[in-house]
Amino acid sequence: MIAPRLQFHWLKAGHCSHPECVAMRGGRWQSVMFPALCGLIVHPVRGNILFDTGYSQHFLAATQAFPERLYRWTTPMTLAPEEVLTQQLAQLGIRAGDINYVVISHVHGDHIAGLRDFPNARLIISRAEYDSAASMSRLGGLMHGYLPALLPPDFADRLVFVEDAASLGLPAELAALGSGFDLFGDASLIAIPLPGHSRGQIGVSFKGDDDRRIFLVGDACWSMDALMGNQLPTWFASRIFSNVRQYQQTFTGLRQIAAIPGGAMLLPSHCQQSWAGFRNECRT
Ligand SMILES: [Zn+2]
């Protein structure tokens, strides 16, 4: 059986700003933009699937009061009207109610801020990530970038756990990470554990309609420059991680995957270069 090829759009739903040296060892003091990227994946049978949601206005509501306001101060966010995800989907002819699934890479606020905008979506998450978030106190969650106010009220009723899907050995170009989960039972969309940044972070991989393998890696690395240059995050940025040693193992696996000539295209969630590069490639 040949796995269906999936259509893909790589979208930017806002950004935050940081001194580069806070996120990356050897980085500059200069403030740089970290885009909040998310994917629209279209499956021929399962329909419209989002990988994360980026920022939304809900982030401002959730960080209005203290102590949550500290989150907004630490990572000041900008969301231009044309970057609101529901607006971008409308431009593609897709209504919010037409999103059937949202894959949640992990529960940091800049990845789940738009969840409330997609009332019909089943929400795919790892059990490890869900359990980890559910066990956090208000302050503990905040320290790890998690804002429970961003979750829709019926969050628990709409969950689908990746661990309930069949386990799948990864194709050769991703084999450095072992195995994944076959989300739809047709090998089209594979969820791959990427622990360390958060306890249960997942990425997804699929073949696009040009037959190229794409791998959305969430926050397993900040940028392709950091990955290729073997530049791990700073001590300061690592404070929000669940496990620094696991992060390094995941990072090493990604470096092996990135080194394969003609292999998977890795797309980190905050990588400005790969966002611009992907869009330019799609235009030609
Ligand atoms: Zn994160």
Per-residue pLDDT tens, the chain, 284 aa: give them: 789 999 999 999 999 987 776 666 676 777 888 999 999 999 999 999 999 999 999 999 999 999 999 988 888 999 999 999 999 999 999 999 999 999 999 999 999 999 999 999 999 999 999 999 999 999 988 888 899 999 999 999 999 999 999 999 999 999 999 999 999 999 999 999 999 999 999 999 999 999 999 999 999 998 999 999 998 887 777 777 889 999 999 999 999 999 999 999 999 999 998 888 887 665 43
Which residues have a beta carbon within 5 Å of ligand 1, which is an ion? 108, 219
Q: How far is the CA of 107 from the centre of ligand 1 (A)?
A: 7
| Partner residues linked to 39 by β-bridges | 10, 51
Write out the two tokens for 14. 């806002």
Half-sphere exposure of 154 (CA within 13 A, CB side): 8
Write out the two tokens for 17. 């700003």
Q: How far is the CA of 211 from the centre of ligand 1 (A)?
A: 29
Q: Are strands 7-19 and 166-169 parallel, antiparallel or unpaired?
A: unpaired
- Where are the alpha helices (H) located in the chain, listed in sequence order? 20-23, 57-62, 69-74, 85-91, 109-112, 127-134, 138-143, 224-228, 235-238, 244-258, 272-283
Q: What is the pTM of this model?
A: 0.95
Q: How far is the CA of 239 from the centre of ligand 1 (A)?
A: 11
Q: How far is the CA of 182 from the centre of ligand 1 (A)?
A: 23
| Partner residues linked to 37 by β-bridges | 12
d(CA 69, CA 53): 20
What's the first-to-final CA gap in the chain, in angstroms? 31
Q: How far is the CA of 203 from the centre of ligand 1 (A)?
A: 12
- The topology (CATH level 3) of 7-283 is Metallo-beta-lactamase; Chain A (3.60.15)
d(CA 92, CA 86): 10
